[in-house]
């Protein structure tokens, strides 16, 4: 079970940007598999546009392992309502990718809970093959954006969303 301390400063209702009406997203992208990352960024941007959400910034990092620290920093920004993480953890010959994937996923959930802001998870794997990633790259990226936007809207609706700092 995740034991994450609640931050009383982040318990105020969410405020939608009056000019946009939808959340302001940041993307964090693991670029280790460049072609897959580029396709995921394009798909995520298209989905954000479809939903009327804006993308305030995109941060590219070497791999998925580096994403939690940057996600945590972005979640603290007033002008970021939700973060979308995109990447691919390939199946390897050892358990390295699987272990790393579990650590990264847990750290991202914990960061989301601490900040009281959504994190849309668009990491393919761990344990996926390049062929599987090729098929999943667009749907995974789009689903991560939808998850972030819908979670933000749900938090705003129930009055427990992220307060813009």
pTM, full prediction? 0.85
CA–CA dist 54, 48 (Å, integer): 6
Establish whether 96 is a catalytic residue: yes
From the list 139, 127, 85, 133, the residue with the least C-alpha distance to 109 is 85
pLDDT reported for residue 21: 62
Catalytic residue among 33, 96, 102, 105: 96
What is the Cβ-side half-sphere exposure of residue 83, based on CA atoms within 13 angstroms?
Answer: 29
Fold of 40-158: Rossmann fold (3.40.50)
- Spatial contact of 125 and 89, defined as CB atoms under 8 Å apart: yes
Show pLDDT as tens, one digit a residue, over the chain (165 residues): 334 444 434 333 334 444 446 899 999 999 999 999 999 999 999 999 999 999 999 999 999 999 999 999 999 999 999 999 999 999 888 888 899 999 999 999 999 999 999 999 999 999 999 999 999 999 999 999 999 999 999 999 998 755 544
- Joined together, the tokens standing for residue 101 give 């994937």
CA–CA dist 9, 12 (Å, integer): 7
- What Cα–Cα distance (Å) separates residue 109 from each residue in 2, 24, 58, 102, 117? 9, 19, 20, 11, 10
Helix (H) or strand (E) holding 138: helix 130-158
């Amino acid at each position: 079970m995740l034991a994450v301390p609640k931050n009383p400063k982040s318990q105020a209702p969410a405020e939608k940007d009056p000019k946009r009406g939808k959340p302001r997203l940041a993307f964090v992208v693991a670029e280790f598999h460049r072609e897959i990352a580029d396709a995921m960024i394009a798909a995520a941007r298209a989905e954000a546009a479809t939903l009327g959400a804006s993308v305030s910034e995109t941060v590219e990092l070497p791999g998925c392992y580096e994403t939690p620290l940057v996600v945590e920093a972005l979640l603290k920004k007033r002008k970021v309502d939700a973060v979308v993480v995109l990447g691919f953890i390939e199946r390897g010959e050892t358990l390295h990718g699987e272990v790393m994937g579990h650590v990264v996923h847990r750290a991202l959930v914990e960061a989301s809970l601490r900040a009281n802001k959504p994190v849309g998870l668009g990491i393919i794997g761990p344990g996926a093959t390049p062929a599987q990633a090729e098929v999943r790259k667009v749907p995974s990226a789009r689903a991560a954006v939808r998850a972030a936007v819908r979670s933000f809207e749900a938090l705003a609706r129930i009055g427990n969303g992220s307060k813009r700092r």
